[in-house]
Amino acid sequence: MRLKTYIETQELTEGTFLFEQQVYRELQECTYEDWCDILDNIVLTENKEPSWINKGDKYIQQYIKDRPQSDTAKDMKKYLATRDKDTKKDSEDNVNTKTTSGSDSDPDKPSADRFNEPLSKHPTLQKAVRAEWENLKREVGQEFGPNLKNAIKEKSVFRTIKAVGLGFGKGMLDGMKAVDAAINVGADKLANTRMIQGLQKGTIKVDEFLDKYPKLKTASGVAIAGFLTYQWLYMSFSGNLDSDYDLSSIPEAVAGNIGFTEILATPQGVKGMGLLAAGLATGGLSTLWLGGRRGMMLAAAYTGAKKLGDKKTENKLFTKMRQLVKGDTGEVDDKDREPDEPEVKT
């Protein structure tokens, strides 16, 4: 039934497995130009139609049933009546007036030509992105709408979202756990911590480190991307993400173009290993991933705002990110940001 509904109306119920799968498929087909068009269209239509229109007929009909006397329900009834009238008129204008015989004369039978008409581009992805954009506006304030759009439009942010998914998903988390298991800090915490510290300080070479943990040499692209995604989220939520932070390694890892040898050959990769050890020691791993899609979109918008130099939006987003992790409130200042190089305690 849900598949039939999607074929006929291009609508899937948000939060269902089919909806999430379709979002992912459309995201993989989405180009950067498509992404910009989706976000631009969201802003353009924001003031032209009520938000409930994009929630689909099922939501509208249920709302009318639950609150029949409300002003919104009355507006919904008018919308449905007007839309159905326009649809009927369009259908009558397009009726093939040729006389046919048998079942082809049935006026209710849809024209075969309808199947040749193109579907609107990325409808499910548009619905998901609009919902996340609306959530972000509720988080930081409606007046930040255009700023948030520009932040999420930043090209490297789009490439990262496309690589890991709109909510980074179970695959990325499993990949992160695979890296954790390969190092297994808890098995010999003192020795493993010293190895990571040596890597950070330059007293232990990358080859020596990988020889100590050979499973890292054969880690999959998804595992490496999970590690890099964790690093990105950790740095974002701690307030220490540099404006020139390179996100390109995440999609490169997903594509299988880089391994841990290349990752640990960069200062950013070595820093990430230290962040991993510190996060595992403090429970940061579970905290960040439990943020789900909300945490992902906050970090994405924060990164985009930082890269664009939008300090006001950056600080507003960081306040919300801090609340998500620590549960506190209030305005943000520099003392809320954690040390750039967290100490890996022995």
CB 49 within 8 A of CB 82: no
**Averaged pLDDT score across all residues of the chain:** 76
pLDDT at 107: 47
Residue 167, token pair as written in the block: 């909510």
Q: Cα–Cα distance between 43 and 171 in angstroms, integer?
A: 32
Q: Averaged over 113-128, what is the pLDDT?
A: 67
pLDDT at 64 over 70: yes
pLDDT at 284: 52
Q: How confident is the model at residue 309 (pLDDT cuts 50, 70, 90)?
A: very high
pLDDT at 45 over 90: no
Q: Residue type for 299, please?
A: A
pLDDT at 153: 93
More confident residue, 168 or 293: 293
pLDDT at 53 over 50: yes
More confident residue, 48 or 127: 127
pLDDT at 279: 62
Residue 265, token pair as written in the block: 């050959």
- Least confident range of 38-52, 59-73, 100-114, 271-285: 100-114
Domains of the chain, by residue range, sit at: 2-89+123-135, 149-336
pLDDT at 102: 43
Q: What angle do CA 117, 133, 63 make, to 5 degrees?
A: 75
Q: What is the crossing angle of helices 56-66 and 71-93, to 10°?
A: 140
Q: What is the DSSP letter of 12?
A: -
Q: What is the pLDDT of residues 211-230, one digit of tens each?
A: 988 888 888 888 888 888 88
pLDDT at 7: 45
Q: How confident is the model at residue 304 (pLDDT cuts 50, 70, 90)?
A: very high
Q: How confident is the model at residue 101 (pLDDT cuts 50, 70, 90)?
A: very low
Q: Residue type for 109, please?
A: K
pLDDT at 119 over 60: no
pLDDT at 291: 60
pLDDT at 307 over 90: yes
Q: Cα–Cα distance between 98 and 234 in angstroms, integer?
A: 66
pLDDT at 285: 53
Contacts with 314 (C-beta within 8 Å, 6 or more apart), sequence order: 302, 305, 306
Q: What is the pLDDT of residues 154-203, one digit of tens each?
A: 999 999 999 888 866 666 777 777 877 887 655 666 677 788 888 888 88
pLDDT at 167: 67
Q: Over pLDDT 90: what percentage of the chain? A: 17
pLDDT at 100: 42
Contacts with 285 (C-beta within 8 Å, 6 or more apart), sequence order: 176, 180, 230, 276, 279
pLDDT at 49 over 70: no
Q: Averaged over 58-87, what is the pLDDT?
A: 81
pLDDT at 316 over 60: yes
Contacts with 207 (C-beta within 8 Å, 6 or more apart), sequence order: none
CB 346 within 8 A of CB 195: no
pLDDT at 305 over 90: yes
- Least confident range of 204-218, 247-261, 317-331: 317-331
Q: Cα–Cα distance between 283 and 312 in angstroms, integer?
A: 30
